[in-house]
Amino acid sequence: MKAVIPAAGFGTRFLPATKSQPKEMLPVFDKPTIQYVVEEAVASGIDDILIVTGRGKRSIEDHFDRSMELEATLKNADKCDRLKIVQDITGLADICYVRQREQNGLGDAIACAEKHIGSEPFAVLLGDSITKGPTPCTKQLIDVYNKYQKSAISLEAVPQDKIERYGIIKGSSVENNIYKIDKLVEKPPADKAPSNLAIMGRYVLTPDIFDKIRETEAGVGGEIQLTDALQKLDAIYGVAFEGKTYDIGNRLEWLKTSIEFAMASEDGDELRQYLKTFID
């Protein structure tokens, strides 16, 4: 299976940090967000990845490209561990790029992948979100796709006060943590939401989604919304996946994720001591 990583958005929620650098390149502790995303695809068994980029996103390509000068410098300085970190990035997967000419929404970004994908099912991983769990989230979706032969999307239960930020599903449980989706409601008020299960940024889609995107008119914000195209598919399954999704496009979520990941690293104790000085 191939994967598509949409990474062409403006990232307006995180301005000014994202004015001239892609939000997908913002580091979470010591690694750019999009590297975690590529690593999730690879850990799910995918080695052919298409990243949808746009103007101002060149640093994404540079990150996954070889840097001969840097490699030579590290080699000469005998910094073998650093050299390995740099070389491992280039060896992760076959990565291709396509540019979304105008930021016309997530549906439009995925439409840019049609030629590369062809007529096979494919995974979509949003370039500005990271997932963590015992099994990679995308792998869990691939397993559900293989079982039901229908599109599958990741879901997470969200607290009442956050419901109106997400696409929420109406569905019925078919087995533990798996739902057959009847309807998707974009950003409903909490009291009108059909559930608290939100769409979280990982998908395995059947290729008929490209026709559905073509049939989809601009929706919220004048953009082609993926959620609107998903509604048109004959069936979709939702997977309340075992794990957690981190939305890096939101500045506070980004900061919290960075702290959480740093806490789990070898620098965790020092960070804990430092944070204690702010909390009584």
User: Can you give the binding site for ligand UTP, defined by CB under 6 A?
Assistant: 6-14, 24, 52, 100, 103-106, 108-109, 126-128, 249
115 vs 276, beta carbon nearer ligand UTP: 115
46 vs 112, beta carbon nearer ligand UTP: 112
- Omega of the bond leading into 16 within 30 degrees of 0 (cis): yes
Cα 145 to chain centroid distance, Å, stands at: 18
- Provide, for the chain, the percentages of residues in helix, strand and coil under a 3-state DSSP scheme, each rounded to the nearest 5: 40, 25, 35
104 vs 196, beta carbon nearer ligand UTP: 104
What DSSP assignment string belongs to 81-134? Answer: HHHHHHHHHHTS-EEEEEE-SS---HHHHHHTTHHHHTTS-EEEE-TTEEEESS
Q: What is the distance between the alpha carbons of residues 256 and 213, in angstroms, rounded to a whole number? A: 34
The least distance separating ligand UTP from the CB of residue 80, rounded to whole angstroms, comes to 34
The least distance separating ligand UTP from the CB of residue 97, rounded to whole angstroms, comes to 12
The least distance separating ligand UTP from the CB of residue 237, rounded to whole angstroms, comes to 22
Are 134 and 40 in contact by the 8 Å Cβ rule? The answer is no
12 vs 149, beta carbon nearer ligand UTP: 12
Are 127 and 34 in contact by the 8 Å Cβ rule? The answer is yes
Residue 53, strand partner residues: 99
111 vs 178, beta carbon nearer ligand UTP: 111
Residue 199, strand partner residues: 155
The least distance separating ligand UTP from the CB of residue 255, rounded to whole angstroms, comes to 15
The least distance separating ligand UTP from the CB of residue 20, rounded to whole angstroms, comes to 15
74 vs 122, beta carbon nearer ligand UTP: 122
Q: What is the distance between the alpha carbons of residues 182 and 191, in angstroms, rounded to a whole number? A: 19
The least distance separating ligand UTP from the CB of residue 198, rounded to whole angstroms, comes to 13
15 vs 174, beta carbon nearer ligand UTP: 15
The token duo for 100 is 């979304």
Q: How many CB atoms lie within 10 A of CB 245?
A: 21
Alpha-carbon distances of 225 from 73, 121, 186, 221, rounded to whole Å:
45, 19, 10, 9
The least distance separating ligand UTP from the CB of residue 129, rounded to whole angstroms, comes to 7
Which are the contacts of 208, defined by CB distance < 8 A and separation ≥ 6?
A: 233
Residue, CB closest to ligand UTP: 9
